[in-house]
A = this chain, B = another copy of it.
Amino acid sequence: MVIFTNMLVESPGIPSQRERILDAAERLFMERGFAAVTLRDIGTELDTTHAALYYHFPGGKEALFAEVAERNVRRHGEGLAAAIEAAGIGLRARLRGAAAWLVSQPPMDLIRMTQSDFPSLPDADAGRIMSLIYELILLRLQAVFETARASGEIADCDPGLVAGGLVGMVESLHSIPVFARRRSLDEMACELLDIVLRGLGYREGGTA
């Protein structure tokens, strides 16, 4: 029986250097965007040099960003699905779970991504990541509204539009400077959610 070294370093709790790079890069890139982060910033974060990054990511900054952005979208999607799942049934519970997840994560600035980051990437990368955003996040939330509509919990509406508007509204809470936050992002998201729910004619349990 042969034990591979890379199986050991990938064991839980001992993240590989590659993972550590991805973590730091993801945080920096998602906070500031592609253009505003240098490879030296990422190296400094890990107490190493930017040259070391090229061993793990031969494709350089673009490849690193593309991988990091895709990873971020997938993580957002998984967390969203898990939060919705864990919330059980009922539109209000599901949306609160989804919103709590979104504000617990670094901001996902879709305006910056579409207007600034993606145009800097090869079309193939940009297109793939944009499709993932649509598929893993927007469609996932849209399905929640469709389910609620089908069971009579809410009135008729454009579920895709409402899902998108909700993400934008909740994510925008991240733009409140930390010193100006008199309540937690979670509480504020809940209050906004309740307004939207009422606007959709929400009644618990639906027509049943």
Q: How many copies does the complex hold?
A: 2
Chain B contacts of A112 at CB under 8 A?
33, 109, 111-112, 116
Can you name the residue of chain B whose Cβ is closest to the Cβ of A158?
A: B191
Is A51 on the interface with B (CB-CB < 8 A)? no
Chain B contacts of A171 at CB under 8 A?
111, 168, 172
Given A35-B33, A115-B31, CB of A172 within 8 Å of CB of B177? no
Can you name the residue of chain B whose Cβ is closest to the Cβ of A192?
A: B165
**Interface stretch of the complex, out of A5-13, A78-86, A89-97, A194-202:** A194-202
Instruction: Decide if A113 touches B195 in the complex (CB within 8 Å).
Output: no
19 more contacts with CB within 8 A, not counting A31-B115, A162-B195, A164-B172, are A32-B115, A36-B116, A109-B109, A109-B111, A111-B111, A111-B171, A111-B172, A111-B174, A130-B177, A158-B191, A161-B191, A161-B192, A162-B192, A165-B192, A166-B169, A169-B169, A198-B200, A198-B201, A199-B199
- 4 closest residue pairs by CB, A with B: A168-B172, A199-B199, A35-B36, A195-B199
